[in-house]
Amino acid sequence: AEGCINGLLPHLSQIVAILVPLLEDTCSLVRSITCWTLSRYSKWIVQDMGHPPGYAQFGNVLNGLLRRILDNNKRVQEAACSAFATLEEEAAEELSPWLDVILQHLMYAFGRYQRRNLRILYDAVGTLADAVGSELNEPKYLEILMPPLITKWQQLSDSDKDLFPLLECFTSIAQALGPG
């Protein structure tokens, strides 16, 4: 994406407009590769948020990735979660207006994901905490975020290999919340 961005930049909004509907394709491979492709352009999608069409397009990408995070196909879930983590890193505090819907989707995914994708989901939640920082420190967000994470923690033994990624997620959340 970076190697040809100068040539693509004038057409990026049109390219993204073509890609977003492909997130709903009947073929799981198309949905998966569309997530990956959108992640490759997330830096420019975020940079384009400064005007109303760019802001709307960011919302379309975000909502599309969130829907794919809840996909029935495990490979699509993985691609969407990874793409979302990339978008989070680029968007940072710009995600604040969408925190409620983001948390609802991510927490719902905890009930659907199996072991391998749970690790990616922990990373996405930790990345979200790093990205939005203290914006996360609201009771309404913590009421959505904490119960599924605590439930997962209670399900793991002290020797479980999945404990470390979960604790890393908790660390990011604790750092985002800050003291008090």
Closest C-alpha to 122, from 91, 67, 84, 68: 84
Number of helices (H), then strands (E), belonging to the chain: the values are 10, 0
- Across 30-59, average pLDDT: 93
pLDDT at residue number 9: 73
How confident is the model over 134-166, as pLDDT tens digits? 999 999 999 999 999 999 999 989 899 989 999
* Tokens 């492909």 found at: 22
Q: Which amino acid is at 59?
A: G
Contact 96, 136 (CB under 8 A): no
What global pTM score does this model have? 0.91
> Given this model, what pLDDT does residue 180 score?
59
How far does CA 94 lie from the centroid of its chain?
Answer: 13
Q: Which residues are CB-contacts of 55 (< 8 A; sequence separation ≥ 6)?
A: 49
CA 20 to centroid of chain Cα atoms: 15
Q: What is the pLDDT of residues 92-111, one digit of tens each?
A: 999 999 999 999 999 999 98
Taking the C-alpha atoms of residue 130 and residue 174, their distance in angstroms, rounded to an integer, is: 10
